Every structure is written in structure tokens, then in C-alpha cells.
Structure 1
Amino acid sequence: MLWILGLEQRDYLAAHCGDSQTVIEPCMVSSDPRILHCSSPKELPVRLGFDLCAEEEAFLSRRKKVVAKALKQALQLDRDLQEDEVPVVGIMAEGGGTRAMTSLYGHLLALQKLGLLDCVTYLSGISGSTWAMAHLYWDPEWSQKDLEGPISHVREHLTKSKLSAFSPEHLEIYRRELQLRAEQGHSTTVVDLWALVLESMLHGQVVDQKLSGQRTALERGQNPLPLYLSLNVKENNLDTFEFKEWVEFSPYEVGFLKYGGFVPPELFGSKFFMGQLMKRLPESQICFLEGIWSNIFSLNLLDTWYGLTCSEGDWKQHIKDKIQNVEKAPVASSATSSWMESSWLKSGTALAQAFKGFLTNRPLHQCEANFLHGLQLHRDYCNQKDFSTWADFQLDPIPSRLTPQEPQLCLVDPAYFINTSFPSLLRPGRRMDLILSFNCSLNSPFEALQQSELYCRARGLPFPHVELSPEDQLQPKECYLFSDPTCPEAPVLLHFPLVNVSFKDYSAPGVKRSPAEIPAGQVDVTKDTSPYALCNMTYKKEDFDGLLRLSDYNVQNSQAAILQALRTVLKRRAPEARPSKAQM
């Protein structure tokens, strides 16, 4: 992709960037069509390009050593693997609120018990699954320790009353945090309040953690690289089927898969123009990023609030209807507002009325400064292969309506479009060999996967064909393998639906339940009366443990399928399986 600055923009930089040595040529030819030409030796803060950043490349080299050792032990290999023989395995976690969070803990716990967690290179998630991911990376050694520690922490807070999250003391904390955020220059919306309430619900306090701080968990390749996703949409039209752009967050970079533009997480939210940093803001706490990644669940704030403060029957039903609609077909409100008003913290009726006002007419997106603002695209950008791969809408021929022309990003939960995190794993530089797909839907275990396949095939992205029999659609099993022998670039995919098939009869793989243990196997993940509904932020202890153990069991019970899939992709990576130079 060719990024070009015209004479008018060059003059703007000369006047505002304070660097008299910076000269941006209006148009220059390069062997790499994605380079922004600047005669200054100082690199732009915005990295332009579709390749992986140098920090991630270095991480991959470190992680491959860990993966090679784990694979040798798991598959009982008789020799050490060379770096180019090590397959890349990624976890693709779905969203689904506390249900997704709890399930992911169970899946990761099972992989750890099987000695396979160290075989994973990437851990990608959206919405509720990011709650588990962000919490795990508090500890730089999390995957090398017993996961029962962080699981116990979540169990404690998920099974207690959420009343304290709305106590006067916590409300005062939220007010101070939001006031500080506004004073720092960040825009503030109800999504930021949701982020703070969520943090209190899940952890009992607001924790000072940053996305860039997760790099310490990657220094030796000791953990998988976490990848979080969001969607950028048009602020005046939040219909993701008309306009959407994937935005990826990692400890190394935040950026657009579509445009090939990235900044370090320390600079996300800061003010940019034409690739130059104009005003640096403090890095946001990761809880505010969680508010972006999972803002569809701000409806849960409604659910909790009306139960604690209001007895108006009509309003209760109004909110219940909104929450139920999210599980079926989420559509964001188009209303926008900035709500930093002093009245919202007042006690009694005034507080309830303030909450009612901005919660029932709230924006469900987050506004952040656009780090691509002012960059101009070459008129033939649509013809660039890497760009077109991720194109999603009908506005491409009109450069004036593209995101770099917007001063702000409008970020929403990816679950508004597809409830899965596949785009990050399919970036060409990551060369995914095996994807472990963890489903957490109560009613449609294959829907997100089939939508992902359709999306990828329409855009020429390699993805295995998801073919199911009528019996599988009616009564899903615990594990499915999908592959495409006609497309070697397509990863092998193992899909784990959220089902209770044999767990109701077995407490562990091969261990039949005694009559006294039968009730523990009755985990309801199908009916409308399930305790794991999207709007439920509080579980009974037995419900939390039931979902955790079910997810753990389903993966452990599929050990043979996982090992076979690893052998398959390892064979693909073998030297004799690679095409010769003459064939390429």
C-alpha cells in the first residue's frame, strides 16, 4: 500500500511538528509500495506495513523453543525439532460474557493438565473471553503455574453479590477515575463507566494494569501471545454489516488489519496527524480496553442496576427485553453522547434517575483518537492484495470516506458482527497450522464457525470447510476436526462445542460417575432456563464449578483428537512435505 502526503500536508507538518528537518515528498516510487517516504532518519510513530512487527518476530523465535520442547514430550518424539519444523498453534475463543470467561478458564486448565498449553503460540479472544485473558496476564508466569490460583480468584468474585459495585464508595472511585481520565485528555463515555463497574465485579477493585505491561509475560516466550479484537465502525451508523474494520490489540501493537497501520499500545488514544504524534496521552488502563473489547455487555450494567435501585415494573421489563435481544441479534444504538456530568453521582432518587437516563439512551461504542488521521492513500490502493483481503464494505472507491479521514475511531465489540476471533489468527505472517476453536454458545455451536468460513471464502482467505451432517447439527459431539486437503495454506481446525454429551455420565475421561456424583454432571448448557444466560453476571458456586469442569472435561476427553491433529500439522512442516524451489 502506498501512503502519500501532498504538498499541503507537508506544509502542515513543517508548521506543527517542530522538526524543520522533516520533509515529506508528495510522491516517490519505491520497491515496497507500502512505505511512507520521509527524508528524516527518525521513524514515524505509526508503523505502516502488513508484516509482523520486529518484536513479535523475536517473540516467535523464543516461543518456538518452548513449543518444540512441549511437542517432543507430548508426542514422544525421538529427536529435537528445528525451528522451521515447529507448527504454529492458535486458540480461537468466542465471546459470551461470564459464560465465555468461565469456559475459557476450563479449556486452558485442561490443556495445562494434558501438557499441551506450551504447544500454543497465540491466544486470541473477543468480548467475554478477553476478561479471562486480561486477568491471566497479570502474572508474567501464568501458564507455568497452577491455574487453580486465578480460577479461585474469579470464582470468589463471580459468585458474590454485585451490590458492592454500586456502593457509594465504589461510585466515588468511578467518578475520580473518570475525572482523571478526562483531565488526561481521553474522551469519556458510558463504556468507560461500564469498564470500571466490570473491573469491580470481576476483581473487587480497579486494577492498574496496562496492555504494554503484558510484554513481561512474553520476554522468554513463556506464554502464548495474547491477541484482542475490536471493530471500527461509522459513528453515525453502527450497522456492522454495512461498514466494519478489524482492529487488533496485542502487547506489542494496536492497529488495523485492513490498512496495515499500527502504533505501540502506549500511544493508542494519543493524538496523531499524518503519522506524526501531535499530543501524547497517558496509556489507558487495560480495564478501559476491556470496555472496548466487550462493550456489548454494558447491557449487563442495566440488568444489575435496575435490580438494585428500581422497582418500576415497566422499566424492568424494558431493560429485560433489551438484554434478551442482545443474545439473539445485537444491534447497537446510534445515539452518541458525552456524559461527564456532576449529577450522576448524587445519592437516592437523583442517582437512580441519572443512571436511568444515560443507561437507556447510552452509546455502546467507544470513541478514541484515530492514529491514522490525515494519512492519504494512493488512488490505486484498492488494487493492493493485502488491502483487498480485508475489505468489508462498499465505500472503498471513495478515499474521502475512509477511516484515515476521520479524527476519531468508533470501536465496538466484534460480537456485533461475528462472535469469534479468527481474523487475528489468519494474518499471513502468522502462518497458522492448527486452530483450537472454543465455542461457548448455548444454542448455536457452529454458527460463528460457519460465518467465519463464509467470510473467509468470500475474501480469498484460507479456511477449512465446515461440513456437518444433520445428526451433528441436531446432537453435536464434543470435538470436530475440519481441514481442506485441497488448500495447504488453510489451517487444520479443531472445534469444541459447548455441549454436555458424556460429562453427565463421567466425572473424568473413562471414570464413570457414582450415583452420588450424577447431580454434578447435570450442567444445563442448552435450555432457556440455563444459569449461563448472557445477562447473568453472578453464578452460584455449583454453577461456576459445573461449567468450568464441563469445559475442562470436554477438552481432556478429546486428547486423542488433539494429539492426532498435532501429528498431522507436524508432518506438514516436515522437510519432505515442503515444496522444492523448483516447484515454487
Structure 2
Amino acid sequence: MATKDEVPCVRQSHELSEGERKATHKRREKVLLCLEKLGIRCEQNKVPNIVVLGSGGGLRAMIAMLGTLVELKKQNFLDAVTYLCGVSGSTWCMSLLYENQKWSEKLMSLEEELFESLSNSSWHIEKAEESLEEAAQDELYSLTDFWAAFFVYQVVQQFDENELADHKEASETGINPYPIYAAVDNEKLSEKGGNFPGTWFEFTPHEAGYTALGAFVSTRHFGSEFEEGKLKEKKKKHICYMQGLWGSAPGNKEETIKYIRDSIARLLHLRGSFLSFAFERSPETFMTYQSILLLLDLQLCAVSGSDPKEVFEKLMSVLSDEGQSESMKLCTAIRDSWAKKTREERMASCAELGKQIEKEFGVYLEKGRIPEEELPPSQAVVLCSVWNFLKMVYKTVLCVLSWKWGTIHNFLYKCSNIKPSYLVENETISLVDAGLAINSAYPLVLRAQRQTDLIISFDFSDGDPFETIKKTASYCQENHIPFPNIEDQKMDGNNPSDCYIFRGDNSCPTVMHFPLFNNVNCSGKVEDYRTRFATWHMSFPGEAIKDLLKKAQLNVSNNRVKIQNEIMRLVLSSRTRKSQK
């Protein structure tokens, strides 16, 4: 029987979900016991809401988040935490931990298990391909599907086909902090930027939706097709897909396209003999694939600024087989005007050509173009398999050309009484990595209903370790959200200290900010560590993983007294603070 948080309908309210309210209320019992062990006396109705934030940063963030949580447990602080909130790589760590219903009690053994998993490859390309072919059957297939099956699966070394809603038991008993995962609406981010509250989208085991707009749906039904607030068709989004959605921005566009191109080349190589069989029976299909893959190479030239001459020659040679097609004419025009165009205009031209090729030659991807009934049954099965594979590759390339990420059904489509009205107009929405807005999900934990008292922020970002808190200060100022003044403290991004404390008046939470690499845990080697653990890495050697875990742990152990003092200060002043909520 479905719980109230699983009912397939839209909830419009700024209040927390019933599931979250019950879970965090239960968690207070654990927090109160933890405070007593720390020697901090606290009344039951004055228990503070402490949040741990983990930023994005790819595999580096995933490992550092694990090390941070382990040390928080060792120092007896983890059980004082009400919420655990992550972006990108931190969400990879979180989603793996919440598979275990008592993970916070088993962190040491789970750390060993994850270390072994990350040190020894258990990724299987066959599994990735199978998942992609299944995903490509959906009309809303996007690069997020590809990213989840290839990049994220390779990085985390697990392909979790459960759903986020399956983590309810690990979130409701009070044993673990309550988890919040972040994403942003790509269209609103592009249109209005990260300071627009409607950009932010949150996920918990109970609900998913627009934080500041108060529009939610059961997590169990996230991605499903809705109309007028009612479920039309259930669609399952497994955790591996969610990890791809949350962590879809580990590198720049050139690196990402190159990775996708190399991955497709690897798949085509593995399918070599089967592809030859299909192409022999349909030369038109072979031509279509040649053109679309060359167009992907052309897009890479547009992004990287490399010379496209050779790619144009090959592409026009393929298209000329079709005579004076519109694709050939358009390709010629793009080639002749290439030097005069900006990077963005070149990319747009590639996308336009991709649409034209799809319009003219996409018909060759239909099964009916090859008479399977004339084949022996065994060959027909092979051909069907190859066709599904080719469709997936074709759709992936088209997604690259249009830069299509995180496209899902809009659960608010045609929903009545939803404001602002733009939320109900489109059948789909596009969700992407929240790191593209603010690389730590402050807007989610600053939601007034969560009554956050202390934010312990661990910044695993690449580059300026203060960018997240600076962007948050700007976000809060623009949206009239209470936040501490950060301007009084010197923040040297090139040589940061290991702990910064920002306090305000009783209307806002205190923020403790911990840059991952700093002049305490890697004195004189901050830049060396940033280079060594760059975001784009898909794996690290075992010794490097241990080193990174240690650096993250030092940020907690070296500041144990500061953390305890802030919690103590918070509890002592809680009467004043709680009375104003």
C-alpha cells in the first residue's frame, strides 16, 4: 500500500513533506543523545538543526565526502547532524551510503568496502550498453542517460537499479541524517541564473520538486508522465540515472564531447562484425552513420577551435553520395562561413545540420528498411539487436548536437493553480548538475521550513574554495534570505586556512566553511593537490585514495574543538533563536 508521500499526485505547499517531518522528528532523539555524550546539555524542544553540506567535485568530492563523514563519526559529531545535503560528486557518496539502512553505524566497514570498490574495477561495458539501449527506447532519452551508464557507472563502480524512494527506511528511523540531493532547472538557469529561486530543484527519499516554489511530487513518481496533476504513465528512474543527473558537470564541454565520442568509438569497435552485417544489407544506413559521427567530430572542432578541414572533406564526401541533398547544400554553406562564425554559432550550425540529416536520412534507422522476414531467425535476432544499438548511438549523437541533458516529463504540466504559470506550460523540463549554479546546495538547506541553525560546509570544489559561499551570499542578498556577513574575513583562495566561521544575528544560521586543500593539511602544496586530484579524473590509485581520505579527515579532527564550541554556543543561545522562528 502506498504511503501518503507516494500518492501519485502533485503537492503544492511550502511545508515539508509528512515523511521528512516524521523522519527529522525521530532524528532529534539521536541528536539529543549525541549532545549529551559531547557534554552539551540541551532541552528536548531546543535541539538544534545542524546541516552538513558537501559540494560537487567529481570523484574527488565523492571520496572526500566519505572521509569527512568517517571522521565526523570518529569525533562523535555525525549523530548531531539532522540533514546531509550534497551536490554532484558528494551525492554519489551519499546515494551509495543510504543503500545501507544503518550506514552511520557501519561507516568504518563501509569505508573499507568503498575503498576496495574504487580501487578495483567492477564496471562492465556490456551492462552499460544494455542500459543505454533500453533508455534509448524512451522519447526523452538524453545525455544524462549516457552519462549515467558510462561515466558515473565507471567512476562509482556500481550500477544501482533501485530507486531513491527505496532509501526511505535508511532515512526514517532516526539512525542516519536526513538526505537532500540537489539539481537545477537548466532552462531557468540559462534564462535567469543561479540567483533565481525557481532554478533550484531538490530530491529527498520522499519528494522531489521546486524548493522555493513549493511544488512537489512523490519521489517514487519522479520522471513519470503527469497531466493536470494526475499520473498518466509511471516511469522508473533508477539511482544510477539520478547519479548521472546530479553529477553531470565534471568537466568542460570539450572534455565531455571527447569522452562521449571516444566511448561511442569503443562501442562501435566492440560491435564491429555485427555492424558490418547490418551495413551490408543497408548501405544507406552506413552512410547515415558515417555522416552523423563525422558531424560529432565537427561539433568537437567547433568547441575546441581545431581545424575542421579534414572533417568537412570526409563529411561532404559521404553526403555527396546522395547527390544535391539539402544536407549537402547546408554543409557547404556552413563550411564556407565557418571562419566568420563565433564558437557558439559554429555549434548551432552543427546542430542545424544534424536536424537536416535526421530529417532526410533518419528513415534508414527504421527496422522496416531491412526485410528481416527474409533472414533466418538467428540472423533476424542479431539484426534486431544491432538495430537497437544503432538507434541508441544515433540518438546520443543528436543529443550531443542539441546539448540535451536531463529531459524528463514535467509533473506540473497543465496543473491548475500553480504559480508561476510557466511551470505548467511545457510537457518536459530539463534538470542538470546544481554545481552549474552554486556548487554547494545552500538554497535547499536555507529553506525556511528546515529551520537550519548551523551549516557545516565542506567545500571540495575545483579552483576558488570560497566561490560557493560568495555565490550564496549574493543569492541570499538578492532574495532577502538571512545569511551571515562574509565580507569581514579575509579569504585567500590560493592559500586558504582549514576552517572559517561566519556568524550573524539570531535570524540566520552560523556557517562553518572547510576548504578541502588548505595551508594546514597540505601546507605549501595546495596547488599540487588540486592538480593531482583534478575533477575530470575517473579513478585514482589506491594510495592516492587513502591520501585524499586523510586530507578530508584532518579538516574535521584538526577543528574538533571549534566544531564542538559552535554547537555549544548554538545550544546556549537556542532560546533566543528558536523563539524567533
After TM superposition, the score normalised by the length of structure 2 is: 0.73
Encode CA deviations 1:416-443: one digit per residue, 9 max, x unaligned.
1211111110111110000001111242
Secondary structure of 2:32's aligned partner: helix
- Structure 2 residue 261 is the aligned partner of structure 1 residue 260: no
One-letter code aligned to 2:409: A
The structure having more radius of gyration, on CA atoms, is 2
Tell me, in whole angstroms, the C-alpha distance in 2 between the residues paired with 1:475 and 1:69. Answer: 38
- Cα 1:579–1:238 change in 2 (3 A) is closer
| Correspondences of 1:30-429 after superposition (within 5 Å) | 45-74=9-38, 76-77=39-40, 81-145=42-106, 147-160=107-120, 165-166=124-125, 169-178=126-135, 182=137, 187-234=140-187, 240=193, 245-279=199-233, 281-297=234-250, 302=257, 304=259, 357=397, 361=401, 363-377=403-417, 399=421, 402-429=422-449
- 8 Å contact 1:232–1:409 — kept in the other structure? yes
Instruction: Report the alpha carbon displacement of residue 272 of structure 1 after superposing the two structures with TM.
Output: 1.7
Instruction: Report the alpha carbon displacement of residue 228 of structure 1 after superposing the two structures with TM.
Output: 0.7
Tell me, in whole angstroms, the C-alpha distance in 1 between the residues paired with 2:150 and 2:32. Answer: 41
Secondary structure of 1:228's aligned partner: strand
More displaced, 188-197 or 65-74? 188-197
Secondary structure of 2:532's aligned partner: coil
Identity of aligned residues (%): 27
Tell me, in whole angstroms, the C-alpha distance in 1 between the residues paired with 2:230 and 2:568. Answer: 47
- Cα 1:536–1:341 change in 2 (3 A) is farther
Tell me, in whole angstroms, the C-alpha distance in 2 between the residues paired with 1:207 and 1:287. Answer: 5
More displaced, 461-470 or 214-223? 461-470
Aligned residue pair count: 477
- 8 Å contact 2:464–2:493 — kept in the other structure? no
Encode CA deviations 1:396-416: one digit per residue, 9 max, x unaligned.
6xx4xx122111111111111
- Cα 1:450–1:172 change in 2 (3 A) is closer
Q: Which has the higher contact order (CA 8 A, sep 6+)?
A: 2
Tell me, in whole angstroms, the C-alpha distance in 2 between the residues paired with 1:111 and 1:462. Answer: 27
Tell me, in whole angstroms, the C-alpha distance in 2 between the residues paired with 1:570 and 1:296. Answer: 38
Tell me, in whole angstroms, the C-alpha distance in 2 between the residues paired with 1:542 and 1:62. Answer: 39
One-letter code aligned to 2:13: G
- 8 Å contact 1:442–1:526 — kept in the other structure? no
Instruction: Report the alpha carbon displacement of residue 219 of structure 1 after superposing the two structures with TM.
Output: 2.8
Task: Considering fraction of residues, name the structure with more helix.
Answer: 2
Secondary structure of 2:533's aligned partner: coil
- 8 Å contact 2:456–2:512 — kept in the other structure? yes
One-letter code aligned to 2:74: K
Encode CA deviations 1:436-484: one digit per residue, 9 max, x unaligned.
0111124201111111011101111111111354574553110011011
Instruction: Report the alpha carbon displacement of residue 241 of structure 1 after superposing the two structures with TM.
Output: 5.5
Instruction: Report the alpha carbon displacement of residue 82 of structure 1 after superposing the two structures with TM.
Output: 3.1
After TM superposition, the score normalised by the length of structure 1 is: 0.72
Superposed CA RMSD in Å reads: 3.9
- Cα 1:544–1:368 change in 2 (3 A) is same
Secondary structure of 2:223's aligned partner: coil
- Cα 1:83–1:201 change in 2 (3 A) is same
Instruction: Report the alpha carbon displacement of residue 352 of structure 1 after superposing the two structures with TM.
Output: 13
Structure 2: stretches of 5+ with no match in the other structure: 1-6, 270-292, 306-343, 368-382
One-letter code aligned to 1:275: G
- Cα 1:471–1:242 change in 2 (3 A) is closer
Tell me, in whole angstroms, the C-alpha distance in 2 between the residues paired with 1:266 and 1:356. Answer: 27
- Structure 2 residue 453 is the aligned partner of structure 1 residue 433: yes
- Cα 1:175–1:127 change in 2 (3 A) is closer
- 8 Å contact 2:462–2:530 — kept in the other structure? no
Tell me, in whole angstroms, the C-alpha distance in 1 between the residues paired with 2:172 and 2:160. Answer: 22
One-letter code aligned to 1:424: L
Encode CA deviations 1:87-119: one digit per residue, 9 max, x unaligned.
000011111111111111111111011011000
More displaced, 264-273 or 208-217? 264-273
One-letter code aligned to 1:432: T
Tell me, in whole angstroms, the C-alpha distance in 1 between the residues paired with 2:111 and 2:298. Answer: 33
